[in-house]
Amino acid sequence: MTRINSSIGESIKSIPKGESFIDFDFLKGADLRHDWTLQEIKEILDLPLMDLLWRAQIAHRSYNPGYKVQLASLLSVKTGGCSEDCAYCPQSVHNDTEVDPIPTLQVDSVLQKARVAKDAGADRFCMGWAWREIKDGIAFDSMLEMIRGVRKLGLEACVTAGMLTDNQALRLAEAGLTAYNHNLDTSPEHYSKIISTRTYEDRLKTLQRVRTAGITVCCGGIIGMGESISDRASLLRVLATLNPHPESVPINALVAVEGTPMGDLSSIDPLEMVRMVATARIIMPKSKIRLSAGRQQLGREAQILCLQSGANSIFYGDMLLTTSNPEVEADRKLLSDAGVQVNFPLD
Ligand code: SAM
Ligand code: DTB
Ligand code: SF4
């Protein structure tokens, strides 16, 4: 039962700034579960919007007081020419897009970009490699050097580079890697319509290796790829039954890129993103829910609803990997208008 302070009948003006009617600490713990069923998650996704937003805010304010938003900057270190056949991805050799393979970035230029991201206020620096899996050798040694350099700058470091072995995961951990991003992308049921070159099970094994090595797990998915609401609930069920939950959960809306099999798909209704974020917040109350690709199609108000209902991280910087992201200045204004806390002073 919700415990409500008895001052609810008194004038709202008498409540000191920052305090509230509800004892959020008391509510903490109620929803930290790993046994969510598909039916329960479907019911949450499908709640009347006002009820969904209310439940999400209670979970969010109980576990993550203060509306602090983590800013994660993204850099593509190895772009294009990937052997996997992910139907959404502009970097796959199976897709006829305008992304041509370009030489892998060198350690110095990556660290230079990390410094720029830090100066712009980023907390985390995420580096991407368009690989099926990590291979040992010079490129892996450079990856380790990049991680050490990013950590030395005082930033969290995240890598996304496909599958890995136990030993590679341990070496990444030794280098100080904060998080490894490896998405499940969609539900187990919808998966075969999106990717054929690696299995759902492969992805779960990669996540387990990351966890065993002591690196935090960043794992989420994409909506807007022709999946049903039940598929969205099913993806969320897989994530929310991992124990522990992934520390970061990126929720992407498909960026429909010309030349991919999904290039003609139309954008989702922005409220579908709000529903996905709010549901993720309710069932994984402690995780960072990252409002990821597709923000340019969302609009300002829908993004603010996402922040209100539990998104506490965004990708920050003008580029994602190969596609664009809102301009830094526009995001500063958005965050300031939303009145959330970030790592740098807002106007
Ligand atoms: N190659 C590695 C892998 O697949 O794990 C790392 C890079 S891959 C580009 C990282 C993630 O970006 C994908 O798993 C997918 O969730 C997301 N992504 C890629 N293309 C996207 C698109 N067009 N729209 C939304 N998300 C996308
Ligand atoms: C994630 O979930 N989304 C980011 C990050 N993790 C690596 C990538 C989005 C990529 C969007 C398409 C592109 O820019 O190529
Ligand atoms: Fe390759 Fe990753 Fe793109 Fe799939 S999502 S094609 S693995 S870069």
Question: What does the pLDDT look like over 298-330, one tens digit per residue?
Answer: 999 999 999 999 999 999 999 999 999 999 999
140 and 215 both lie in a single domain:
yes
Residue 3 falls within a domain, yes or no?
no
The residue annotated as part of the active site, out of 55, 61, 86, 275, is: 86
Please say if 306 is a catalytic residue. no
Q: How many domains does the chain have?
A: 2
**CA-CA distances (angstroms) from residue 138 to 20, 172, 209?**
55, 14, 22
Please say if 300 is a catalytic residue. no
228 and 83 both lie in a single domain:
yes
Taking 3-state DSSP, the helix, strand and coil percentages for the chain, each rounded to the nearest 5, stand at: 40, 15, 45
DSSP-derived secondary structure letter, 10: S
Using DSSP, state whether 222 is helix, strand or coil: strand
53 and 114 both lie in a single domain:
no
293 and 196 both lie in a single domain:
yes
What CA dihedral angle connects 249, 253, 258 and 264, to 10 degrees? 140
What pLDDT, on a 0 to 100 scale, did the predictor assign at position 249? 98
Please say if 86 is a catalytic residue. yes
Distance 82 CA to ligand 3 centre (A): 6
45 and 112 both lie in a single domain:
no
Which of 16, 44, 63 represents a domain boundary (last residue)?
63
Using DSSP, state whether 227 is helix, strand or coil: coil
Q: Mean pLDDT, 10 residues at a time, over the chain (347 residues)?
A: 42 53 70 94 97 96 94 98 97 94 94 97 97 96 98 98 98 98 98 98 98 98 98 98 98 98 97 98 98 96 97 97 97 96 83
Which of 46, 63, 80 represents a domain boundary (last residue)?
63
What pLDDT, on a 0 to 100 scale, did the predictor assign at position 2? 41
pTM for this predicted structure: 0.94
Range of the domain at 12: 8-63
Q: What are phi and psi of 75, to 5 degrees?
A: -140, 135
Using DSSP, state whether 317 is helix, strand or coil: coil
Please say if 3 is a catalytic residue. no
The Cα–Cα gap between 85 and 90 comes to 10
Distance 85 CA to ligand 3 centre (A): 7
165 and 32 both lie in a single domain:
no
**CA-CA distances (angstroms) from residue 158 to 179, 207, 281?**
5, 14, 21
The Cα–Cα gap between 40 and 265 comes to 29
38 and 105 both lie in a single domain:
no
User: Mutate which of 75, 135, 184, 222 to test ligand 1's pocket (most atoms within 8 Å of Cβ)?
Assistant: 222
38 and 75 both lie in a single domain:
no
**Ligand 1 proximity of 183 Cβ (cutoff 6 Å):** yes
Please say if 126 is a catalytic residue. yes
Residue 345 falls within a domain, yes or no?
no
Q: Which of 68, 55, 46, 58 is nearest to 22 (CA)?
A: 58
Residue 344 falls within a domain, yes or no?
no
- Provide the β-strand partners of residue 22: 4
45 and 144 both lie in a single domain:
no
Please say if 275 is a catalytic residue. no
89 and 179 both lie in a single domain:
yes
- CB-based contacts of 145-150 (< 8 A; 24+ apart in sequence): 145/107, 146/77, 146/107, 146/110, 146/111, 147/172, 147/175, 147/176, 147/177, 148/175, 148/176, 149/107, 149/110, 149/111, 149/114, 150/111, 150/114, 150/125
What pLDDT, on a 0 to 100 scale, did the predictor assign at position 266? 96
- Provide the β-strand partners of residue 291: 251, 314
Distance 29 CA to ligand 1 centre (A): 33
Residue 346 falls within a domain, yes or no?
no
Residue 250 falls within a domain, yes or no?
yes
Residue 1 falls within a domain, yes or no?
no
The Cα–Cα gap between 40 and 237 comes to 9
44 and 183 both lie in a single domain:
no
Residue 114 falls within a domain, yes or no?
yes
161 and 110 both lie in a single domain:
yes
Residue 211 falls within a domain, yes or no?
yes
Distance 261 CA to ligand 3 centre (A): 14
Domain of 90: which CATH number? 3.20.20.70
What pLDDT, on a 0 to 100 scale, did the predictor assign at position 17? 54
Ligand 3, residue 321: give the atom nearest the CA.
8
Do residues 330 and 324 touch, judged by C-beta distance below 8 A?
Answer: no
What pLDDT, on a 0 to 100 scale, did the predictor assign at position 29? 66
In this structure, the residues whose C-beta lies within 6 A of any atom of ligand 2 are 74, 90, 128, 160, 181, 183, 220, 250, 252, 255, 292-293, 320-323
Distance 29 CA to ligand 3 centre (A): 37
What pLDDT, on a 0 to 100 scale, did the predictor assign at position 102? 86
Which of 17, 35, 63 represents a domain boundary (last residue)?
63
Tokens, residue 95: 């897709």
Residues in the chain: 347
